[in-house]
Amino acid sequence: RYAELSLDVAADSDVIIWPETAIPVFFQDAQDFIQRLEVEAVESGVDYLIGVPSGSWETEVFHNSVFSLGRSHGFYHKHRLLPFGEYLPLRWFLTFFHRLVDIPLADFTPGGTEQPLLRVAGQPVGVSICFEAVFGSEIRRTLPESRFLVNVSNDAWFGRSLAPYQHLQIARMRALEMGRAMARATNTGVSALIDAHGRIIAQSQLFHTQVVQGLVQPLRGTTPYVILGDGVVLLLLCVVIGGGARLGTAIR
């Protein structure tokens, strides 16, 4: 379905982004499909970013990944994995619990912290996958090199709750903090284009088949958050707590 939707807009696009695990089989098992898509991408002059699980059956190391296809090729492997959803924390301690409750869990390996940025349309892009958008520090790693941001997500398990909209608001905050536009692709919504000020340029509806199109402006430079990170927030929090403690002492 993603391939069909992409063909309709490929001629007018520089970059097409598919959601997290848009290809629902391992990269090495989808080569026929990927090679056909590669041919279409080259003919259309468009680059793709596509979510797919990847890894090696020989080493039994697997990643939740995004790969680029078209004029450049590369992988980003998710660094911040979701506990219990993508890996079992404290495996040595919780293996018995896992067997007891018999809950199927993925067993991904986190990607490194110093992965090279993917390039699409000639621009380095900061990619994050789903849960990683919650952490400003994860996105901040890609700055100042990245010219715009991409977040892909599988929000299907949230259903029709408020969570997909909360996830969108989190993405808006990351765009504002980094001073970079963001393209966000999800399988069930809400997909969106967000400018560098955190404003929504275009967005899809929840559980509607739509292609979100628009202009994403590549940018350079840094913001105070990119330079200082979360340290300034923690410092201000300490000041507030310290001031509150002193005020409480004075009142007593």
Q: Look at residue 189 in the predicted model and tell me its pLDDT.
A: 82
240 — pLDDT class (breaks 50, 70, 90): confident
Same domain (yes/no): 217, 239: no
92 — pLDDT class (breaks 50, 70, 90): low
36 — pLDDT class (breaks 50, 70, 90): very high
Same domain (yes/no): 111, 232: no
97 — pLDDT class (breaks 50, 70, 90): low
Which H or E run includes 180? none
Same domain (yes/no): 237, 122: no
- Average model confidence (pLDDT) across the chain: 90
Same domain (yes/no): 243, 144: no
Q: What is the mean pLDDT of residues 124-147?
A: 96
pLDDT top residue among 158 and 34: 34
Residues with catalytic roles: 20, 78, 130
Q: Look at residue 24 in the predicted model and tell me its pLDDT.
A: 93
Q: Look at residue 231 in the predicted model and tell me its pLDDT.
A: 80
Q: Look at residue 98 in the predicted model and tell me its pLDDT.
A: 54
106 — pLDDT class (breaks 50, 70, 90): low
- The domain total for the chain is 2
Same domain (yes/no): 213, 228: no
Q: Look at residue 248 in the predicted model and tell me its pLDDT.
A: 61
Same domain (yes/no): 241, 216: no
The encoded tokens of residue 172 equal 């808006």
% of the chain beyond a pLDDT of 90 = 72
Residue 58: C-alpha distances to residues 61, 62, 95, 111, 200 (Å): 8, 10, 23, 18, 44
Same domain (yes/no): 186, 117: yes
DSSP state of 210: -
Q: Any idea which of 134-138, 141-145, 185-189, 242-246 has the lowest mean pLDDT?
A: 242-246
Q: Is 199 helix (H, G, I), strand (E, B) or coil?
A: coil
Same domain (yes/no): 165, 206: yes
Is the confidence at residue 51, as pLDDT, over 80? Answer: yes
Same domain (yes/no): 126, 245: no
What pLDDT digit, counting tens, does each position of 147-160 carry?
999 999 999 888 89
Same domain (yes/no): 30, 147: yes
| CA 167 from centre of chain | 11
Can you give the CATH number for the domain in which 92 is found?
A: 3.60.110.10
Instruction: Determine the Cα–Cα distance for residues 111 and 77; give it in Å rounded to an integer.
Output: 5
Same domain (yes/no): 213, 227: no
93 — pLDDT class (breaks 50, 70, 90): low
What pLDDT digit, counting tens, does each position of 191-224 carry?
999 999 999 999 999 999 999 999 999 999 999 9
Same domain (yes/no): 123, 235: no
- Its domain, for residue 54, covers 2-221
Q: Is 228 left (phi over 0), alpha (psi -120 to 50) or beta?
A: alpha
